[in-house]
Structure formats: structure tokens, C-alpha cells
A = this chain, B = another copy of it.
């Protein structure tokens, strides 16, 4: 019995590095992101918002008005999806879409006063959600976590 099943038992290399699976950064990332996304999506739903709304509104507030294509580049949202996001934001009077007189291919998107107010609310919601997301970490660790993520993401956006 013991001998017959030996081949199925954990071997030395496994014992040397136990839980290899759980230590793979790629796997940790995707599993954590699944949970993070769910948390954020559900939290924002309570404020009649989606994460792209926040991305677009923040970008508009921080960097000023922009075309849809420019917003795509800033936020990483595909320009084909941007259409729908801006429809949702315009429906709610959070942004304004106006043709660019200097380039008639473009729309200029501008955040509205209402949009600013909404963004302030979303920022609070997201602060709370991130508190929940990062609960186990100390403030210093949270900073470090964000820093590490930023460096990794920067590296992989440069090299692609």
C-alpha cells in the first residue's frame, strides 16, 4: 500500500517549496483582482456608477477637457467602449459632449458641475472601498503596495 502509492505522494521538491501555487505572483494577482473588482463594482453600483465613470471623470478633472480618443489613451478604456461610457455619463448630465470646431472629427468632452459633485461623492465611496480592500495592511504597507504595483504596471506599459 505504502509503496504502491508512493508515486502519488508529495515529493521532495514540493516539500522544499510548499504551496508553490499560492506563491505565484500571477495567480495571487488574478485571484485578488477578481475579488477587488467585485468589491469595487458592487460598491459603485450603490452610487449609480461604474468604475469607468470614475476613470473618465477623474481624468477630466485632473487634466481638463479632452477628445474621446484622448480619454481612451489616458484611461486605458478602448475607444469602442468609451462611446457607451460617455453615453451613460452624458445621460446623467455629468459630462458634456460638444463638437470640436477646430477638428470636426472630434468631440470635446467636458466635466460638468454636477459631474464634479458626483466625482467628489465617488471619491469618498472609493476611499471606503479601498479601506476595505487594503484592510490587512498598515498605512506604510499600503503605500508600498501601491508603489510596487505602479512600478510593475509602468514597466509593462512601456514595454508593450
CB-CB under 8 A from A160, the residues of chain B are 35
Chain A: interface residue count, which band? 35 or more
Number of copies: 2
The chain B residue with its CB closest to the CB of A35 is B156
Q: Which residues 24-63 in A have Cβ within 8 Å of B in the complex?
A: 24-33, 35-37, 39-40, 51, 54-55, 58-63
Could you list 16 examples of A-B contacts with CB < 8 Å? A7-B113, A10-B64, A21-B55, A22-B150, A25-B149, A26-B37, A26-B39, A27-B55, A29-B33, A30-B36, A133-B152, A134-B152, A136-B154, A141-B148, A144-B148, A145-B152
Pick out which of these stretches binds chain B: A79-87, A99-107, A122-130.
A122-130
Q: Is the interface of A mostly helix, strand, loop or mixed?
A: helix
State the CA gap A150–B24 with chains docked (Å).
Answer: 10
State the CA gap A148–B54 with chains docked (Å).
Answer: 26
Determine whether A68 belongs to the interface, using a CB cutoff of 8 Å to chain B: no
**Is there contact, CB below 8 Å, between B130 and A152?**
no
CB-CB under 8 A from A51, the residues of chain B are 26-27
